[in-house]
Each structure stands twice: as C-alpha cells, then as structure tokens.
Amino acid sequence: MLCEEVVLLERLFAQLQGIFNSSISIEKNAVKALQRALLQKQFPTLSKEAYPLPKPFMDVMARSDALSICKLISKVHFEWRPPTTSTDPLYIEHSNFKVHVELIGPTGLIFSNTMRLGFYGMLPNSEYGFRTHPAEETFIMLAGNAYWRRGDGQYSLHRPGSRSYHPSQMPHSTQTRELAFMSIYVWDGDISTKEYTYSGISST
C-alpha cells in the first residue's frame, strides 16, 4: 500500500474513536477495537480497482451538517459494495441500493472474530425491511437522513450524529426519502450471520 493510504487509514481509525463517545458498552468496545487496530499496524493493501461512492453519497457527505470525518472517508479508496450478510434472494434484491465497507471483522481490513465495524449507507428513496440477528448493534449517522424503525415502534428521522441502537434480536428496518445517508455501524457479541433473518418490507 502506498504510504499515503496507510496514513489516511491510520487517521481514519484514530478519528473514528471520537465518534463513539457514548457510555454504552458497545461503543466502548468499538473504541478498544480501533485502538488495537492502530497498535497492530497491519493495514492491508487496498484494491487498485476501487469502487467509488455514487454521487448521492458524496453529496450528503459534503453537506454542512455532515460530520467532519466524512471528508476523510471520501479520500480513502475503499471498495464500496452492497453487503453480503445473507444469501437469501430477497435480501440480495433489497441490497442493490446499499454501500458497505467492513473495517474490522471476519472480512474486514483488520480481522476480528468478536466485532464487526464499518461503514453503511443507502441511496435515496429506498427501503431495507425488517431483519434480526444475534449481535447487539448500533448505527451512528455520519451524513444525510434516514428513518429507522425499532421493534413495534414508528419510523423516526435520524440526522447526522444521531444513533439507532438495536439489542440482540430486536427487529429493525430502515428507509430513505429524498437524501442518501452514510453511517458507521458496530456488531458486538455473537457476530455470526448464520442466524441473520431478513423478513422483507412490512405492509404496516
């Protein structure tokens, strides 16, 4: 990897620690994982064929209300692709409007079998239906707007800096309207995807 890329990743991992500033354990664990990654200094070579972010994501990350770390994220040549959490055909169909990069995890830039941490976003006017999984999870909004639904609750607007926290096995779903969004997520605890269940879009 070019020295410049290493410096960018080190800066990114260092600055991400400041995003996880809540007192809940999942965020404290995320900070520890980022610190361990920096100490290891084993960042892999990024692909020469980077898959850049589509314009709607770049647009929201350049807005004045986006968290400042978005400028740094946009400089790194990540492979932005839809997530591959499930092989369910419906899940795959409902994933073509998503982008995802795993920074820490079983398939991440830095290996971990106890945590998944990375970036996740959705294009405008999209809906990702109800899903459940054993892992405890939190999303922190970095840019744009998203509507999150937790359990039997109603959809709630989330702007940059806000969180959507999901205890283990809590059903949750996500919508976008006129804006895309970018977020950082954490899975903690049982991070296996074997019991991940996607139920699709609810009619209620």
Residue 148 confidence (pLDDT): 98
**Domain presence at residue 128:** yes
- Please report where in the chains the tokens 């400028």 appear, as a residue: 71
Q: Is residue 60 part of a domain?
A: yes
**Residue 77 maps to a domain:** yes
Q: Give CA separation, 101 vs 28, 46, 149, 169, in Å.
A: 21, 12, 23, 23
**What CATH number corresponds to the domain at position 169?**
2.60.120.10
Q: Which has the closest alpha carbon to 183: 159, 151, 201?
A: 159
Between 105 and 48, the higher pLDDT residue: 105
- pTM recorded for the entire structure: 0.94
pLDDT average, residue stretch 153-169: 98
Instruction: Answer whether residue 89 shows pLDDT above 70.
Output: yes
- 30 domain residue, yes or no: no
Alpha carbons 57 and 39: distance in angstroms, whole number: 31
Identify whether 19 is part of a domain.
no
Number of structural domains, the chain? 1
Distance CA 157, CA 154 (A): 10
The length of the chain in residues reads: 204
Quick count: other Cβ atoms within 10 Å of Cβ 158? 20
- Is position 32 within any domain? no
Q: Residue 50: which domain range? A: 45-200
Give the mean pLDDT of 15-31: 97
Residue 94 forms part of a structural domain: yes
Q: What would the pLDDT profile of 122-141 be if each residue is shown by its tens digit?
A: 999 999 999 999 999 999 99
Strand extents, DSSP E, 36-114: 98-105, 110-111
* E runs forming strands in 6-162: 98-105, 110-111, 115-122, 127-132, 136-144, 146-150, 156-158
Residue 142 within a domain: yes
